[in-house]
């Protein structure tokens, strides 16, 4: 995906990265029963590529999501989730379009040219396609860039941003040769400059903190894409988009897209019952088998830059505020056992992920996780040394029981299974884990975002910019951004600053791995496994499925002719 910060998902649905109509891959119609292992080759997509001339014109594509987004502003803290990205990627401009290998090209529908025009100081010039118009008829202009920079640069905490990375390095945005050219000058070098202004919102959304925080809570508002917002049905829990007649690019094949909010546990059966056309089944063995056994359903697979993890809450006053305690607890959790239990039969050679910045398949990946290698004896000794004395089945210190609250969402089998394994592991070392299952609809907004947990687990979605998109998660700043566990220090912040300014790829990789080692040492989060991208789709759907590392071309999604 070309969005510039990581989104999160509850469980099976993942990847905000999307797909290319011309990307390589089979039709994915593997309905042989059981669960096939996902391929492990980066740069491939499995989307049933078809020429649009061979497809039916029109039709409603029913796309399962977990919840109607609480905010359609992806840059606002509550809006940075995959369900929202699935919707807005067809509605707003982006400077670049990414192929299945994560390689960018200028998104020509929106820009005729985007390039680095100076390195000292760093200057990027965006030349807007003169055909690009917002749905209210106004032209996309440099003022939209300027307003978004000012909202996201971190200088005004009233803007509830999910990340200021990159924008905080910009000095100014100016008009170029005309109003359809934005010239962005940086104070500090920012190597992942291609990630910025993606998505780009109209200037009114970014004009004031109130507009930024609340103006898109009920609908996407003014847009500029092949689709436009049509309606929301809160009773049926649907959001419907329809083609925008004013769209200047290739016309969409579909007549509408309806996003249907369903509990994850109900999605695959809804697909089997022909109530939806697509669900992301991820690493659920049961869902994979159900989808493969169903008539008229295909499971399409690709390697994705996304992963499951346990986030630890290290905020002051929390039971896990002690770094050494967090690391000790991590050593008591069998990550290999979790990966085997969750991925056996779903992925080839299930194994744990060892790097917070890079996933396997990306240059720079190396396993830095030895500090938390599974070792119950070492974990027990570390807890003893910290004064947590084992009394019977649990440990106490100063009259307080070592009890950890694991918050998970309802209806997500993956989270429940992980939690049960962690509970069993920690019982061995005298740590009591209480599993607190909360409503999935408010899981992030009411619990994760506000730090209402001791540990919690969900999936981080990768982007083509693994370093800069990680800064809002693992950096510690005055505002939370995406650091929900409130863990970190200035040395990690400084390393992110250096890495984001480093234009030499090899030096940037070295800095990124220094960051990762520091994150492990902090006991920030316990990575579990890289998630296979398993998408269950109605077999008649073309140009859609498992996208790998690429972007969706929403105009080419359609149904084959019967």
Structure tokens at 180: 């359809």
Question: Model's pTM, two decimal places?
Answer: 0.75
Residue entry with tokens 């990340």: 163
Q: How many other C-beta atoms lie within 10 A of the C-beta of residue 479?
A: 15
Return per-residue pLDDT of the chain as tens, 562 residues.
445 444 444 433 322 222 222 222 333 334 433 445 545 566 788 999 999 999 999 999 999 999 999 999 999 989 988 899 999 999 999 999 988 878 899 999 999 999 999 999 999 999 999 999 999 999 999 999 999 999 999 999 999 998 888 999 999 999 999 999 999 999 999 999 999 999 999 999 999 999 999 999 999 999 999 999 999 999 999 999 999 999 999 999 999 999 999 988 899 999 999 999 999 987 777 888 899 999 999 999 887 778 899 999 999 999 999 999 999 999 999 999 999 998 887 777 788 999 999 988 788 999 999 999 999 999 999 999 999 999 899 999 999 999 999 999 998 888 999 999 999 999 999 999 999 999 988 898 899 989 999 999 998 877 778 888 888 889 887 777 788 999 988 999 999 999 988 988 899 999 999 999 999 999 999 999 988 788 999 999 999 999 888 888 999 999 999 7
Q: What domains are there in the chain, each with its CATH number?
A: 305-532 (3.10.105.10)
Give the angle subtended at the CA of 201 by the CAs of 196 and 205, to the nearest 5°.
125
**325-350: burial string, b at 16+ Cβ within 10 Å, e else:** bbbbbbbbbbbeebbebbbeebbeeb
CB–CB of 134/202 below 8 Å? yes
CB–CB of 510/502 below 8 Å? no
Segment holding 528, helix H or strand E:
strand 525-538
The torsion angle over the Cα atoms of residues 177, 182, 184 and 190, rounded to 10 degrees, is -130
Structure tokens at 411: 């209806």
Q: What share of the chain is helix, strand, coil (3-state, %, to 5)?
A: 30, 25, 45
Segment holding 290, helix H or strand E:
helix 285-293
Which residues in 57-134 belong to E strands, given as ranges? 60-65, 96-98, 104-106, 111-119, 122-128
CB–CB of 48/55 below 8 Å? no
Helix (H, G, I), strand (E, B) or coil at 398: coil
Q: What Rg do the C-alpha atoms of the chain give, in angstroms?
A: 23
393: burial class by Cβ within 10 Å (0-12, 13-18, 19+)? exposed
Q: Residues with Cβ < 8 Å from 427, sequence gap 6 or more?
A: 393, 433
Phi, psi of 560 (to 5 degrees): -70, 155
Angle formed by the axes of helices 376-385 and 323-331, nearest 10°: 150
- Whole-Å CA distances, 401 to 390, 391, 396, 404, 421: 10, 10, 4, 9, 21
Which residues in 268-359 belong to E strands, given as ranges? 278-280, 297-312
Total residues belonging to the chain:
562
């Amino acid at each position: 995906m070309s969005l510039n910060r990581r989104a999160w998902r509850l469980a099976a649905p993942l990847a905000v990265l999307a797909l290319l109509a011309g990307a390589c891959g089979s039709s994915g119609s593997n309905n042989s029963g059981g669960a096939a292992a996902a391929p492990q080759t980066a740069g491939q997509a499995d989307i049933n590529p078809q020429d649009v001339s061979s497809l039916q014109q029109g039709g409603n594509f029913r796309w399962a999501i977990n919840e109607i987004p609480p905010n359609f502003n992806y840059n606002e803290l509550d809006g940075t989730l995959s369900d929202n990205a699935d919707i807005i990627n067809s509605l707003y401009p982006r400077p670049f379009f990414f192929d299945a290998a994560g390689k960018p090209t200028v998104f020509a529908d929106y820009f005729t040219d985007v390039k680095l025009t100076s390195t000292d100081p760093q200057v990027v010039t965006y030349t807007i396609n003169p055909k690009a118009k917002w749905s209210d008829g106004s032209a996309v202009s440099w003022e939209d860039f300027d307003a978004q920079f000012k909202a996201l640069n971190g200088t005004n905490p009233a803007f509830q941003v999910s990340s200021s990375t990159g924008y905080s390095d910009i000095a100014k945005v100016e008009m170029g040769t005309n109003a359809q050219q934005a010239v962005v000058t940086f104070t500090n070098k920012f190597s992942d400059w291609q990630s910025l202004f993606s998505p780009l919102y109209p200037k009114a959304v970014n004009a004031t903190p109130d507009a930024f925080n609340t103006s898109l809570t009920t609908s996407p508002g003014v847009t500029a894409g092949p689709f436009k917002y049509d309606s929301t049905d809160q009773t049926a829990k649907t959001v419907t988009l329809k083609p925008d007649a004013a769209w200047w690019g290739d016309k969409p094949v579909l007549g509408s897209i309806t996003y249907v909010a369903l509990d994850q546990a109900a999605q695959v059966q809804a697909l089997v019952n022909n109530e939806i056309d697509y669900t992301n089944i991820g690493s659920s063995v049961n869902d994979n088998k159900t989808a493969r056994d169903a008539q008229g359903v295909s499971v399409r697979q690709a390697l994705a830059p996304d992963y499951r993890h346990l986030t630890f809450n290290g905020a002051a006053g929390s039971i896990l505020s002690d770094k050494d305690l967090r690391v000790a607890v991590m050593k008591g959790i069998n990550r290999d056992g979790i990966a085997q239990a969750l991925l056996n039969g779903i992925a080839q050679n299930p194994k744990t992920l060892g790097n917070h910045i890079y996933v396997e398949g990306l240059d720079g990946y190396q396993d830095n996780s030895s500090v938390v290698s599974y070792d119950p004896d070492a974990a027990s000794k570390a807890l003893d040394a910290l004064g947590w004395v084992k009394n019977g089945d649990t440990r106490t210190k100063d009259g307080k029981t070592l009890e950890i609250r694991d918050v998970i969402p309802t209806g997500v089998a993956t989270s429940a299974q992980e939690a049960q394994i962690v509970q069993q592991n920690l019982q061995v070392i005298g740590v009591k884990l209480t599993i607190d299952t909360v409503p999935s609809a408010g899981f992030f907004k009411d619990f994760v975002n506000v730090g209402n947990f001791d540990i919690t687990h969900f999936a981080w979605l990768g982007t083509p910019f693994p370093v800069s998109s990680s800064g809002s998660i693992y950096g510690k700043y005055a505002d939370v951004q995406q650091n929900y566990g409130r863990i970190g220090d200035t040395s990690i912040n400084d390393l992110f600053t250096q890495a984001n300014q480093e234009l030499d790829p090899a030096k940037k990789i070295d800095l990124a791995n220094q960051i990762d080692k520091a994150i492990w040492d902090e006991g920030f989060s316990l990575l579990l496994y890289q998630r296979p991208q398993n998408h269950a789709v109605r077999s008649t759907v073309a140009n859609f499925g498992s996208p790998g590392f690429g972007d969706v071309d929403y105009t080419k999604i359609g149904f084959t002719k019967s």
